[in-house]
Amino acid sequence: MASGNMAESKTKSSGSKIAGLPARRGALKLLDAVLRRGETIDQAEKSALQGVNGPADRALARAIVGETLRWMPDLDALIDSATKRNLPEDAKPRSVLRLMLAQALRLETPPHAVVATGLELLHGGPRRLAHGVFSSLMKREVALPDVPTLSDAVLTRWEGRTQAVAPGLIHPPEVDLALKDHGETQERALSMGGVTLAPGHIRLPRGTPIDRLSSYDEGAWWVQDLAAQIVPRLLGAGDNRRALDLCAAPGGKTLALAAAGWRVSALDVSEKRLELLRENLGRTGLEAEIIKANALTYTPAKQFDAILLDAPCTATGTARRHPDVLHRVGPRQIGETTELQQSLIYQAFEWMQPGTVLVYAVCSLEQEEGEDQAAWASETFNLEPMPITAEELPAGLEPTPEGWLRTHPGMLPEQGGLDGFFAARWRKR
């Protein structure tokens, strides 16, 4: 009995010395947290990557999981093509094979390194099966399709939008910056080696280390996807008028409103997320009143000329950077968020005076959270539609026939795409 324990201990010790193994163990824990517990990668990272040291290995673990989730239906199809009987969806060998194939086919990890680190994740399990399946697929020189296949559940929800969206999910997004001074756009784009798709916007290559950019401490910009940058611009120039940014943290839209000349009150319930807003305000030198409160119970002490409600949502529009949303969001989550969104719209309307402008926005691709909510608000409240115009949008984007904004990852493909957003705008009569 003692000799058996010693042998097992020796094996574990030997395995722990394999280069890159902690990152793969962390990746398996991350994948499990998303698929079994419905956590986001961000929520699960601290616990799952506890034994992974160094930013490079942590980034590798996230990259492996990200590519696994991005291409999971296609990875599963390959696995099933190499087994006589399909492995259960939640079987550990299937999860390990998903990670192994994602490394080989998406991250271009040499097969021998994939095998050395992958099979160690199946101690006491069917290592021979996993080795056989992976080796068989490598000998067949399999490849993934040009565009990720989306799950049946997502296909059903997104319906006719799917074919347009899927090509935008092939890669993680590039890095978008929002400038404090739109007049510096061309000069800064040139000096930073980026491109611009709109005044006040710069796009840098994927993976650019933000905090190492020489201009980081200047406070002249902040990170914000192009689609998200459009939303606060729908309120126009502030001219020292008052704006309420509901559900404001981490604060990109608050910064944009302050830079546009609004006197901003930024409200959020999360102290941790508000701290990020405070840091960004300090770095950029912009000003805003910060209010920690629950929007559903808050009573404003002043009136506002504009309200920006970037409502909590399923965030399926961020699937390029957060592919976990493709697998953990379903009818229950959508139902919960739509109920909350309607409650927040009720509150916002109660705080509006005649002439107050309301912009409602969500980073979601779900019709229930976007188009359906805008139609409901238009029918329920005494609001005058303020159609969004093409002139307010980056080149290549058009408003919907209703005068709303709808973006998705497949748009602007030649320029690198953008997140999925919905926005609508009204004025209180």
Taking phi over 0 as left and psi of -120 to 50 as alpha, with beta for the rest, 204 belongs to beta
- Judge contact between 148 and 169, C-beta under 8 A: yes
- Judge contact between 275 and 224, C-beta under 8 A: no
Q: How big, in percent rounded to 5, are the helix, strand and coil portions of the chain?
A: 50, 10, 40
The 8-class DSSP code of residue 363 comes to S
- Judge contact between 290 and 315, C-beta under 8 A: no
The 8-class DSSP code of residue 290 comes to E
How far apart CA 350 and CA 428 sit, in angstroms, is 10
How far apart CA 250 and CA 213 sit, in angstroms, is 21
The 8-class DSSP code of residue 195 comes to B
- Judge contact between 277 and 301, C-beta under 8 A: no
How far apart CA 262 and CA 67 sit, in angstroms, is 40
Angle, helix 92-105 to helix 21-37, in steps of 10 degrees: 120
CA distances from 408 to 99, 314, 349, 379 (A): 27, 14, 28, 26
Residues serving a catalytic function are 363
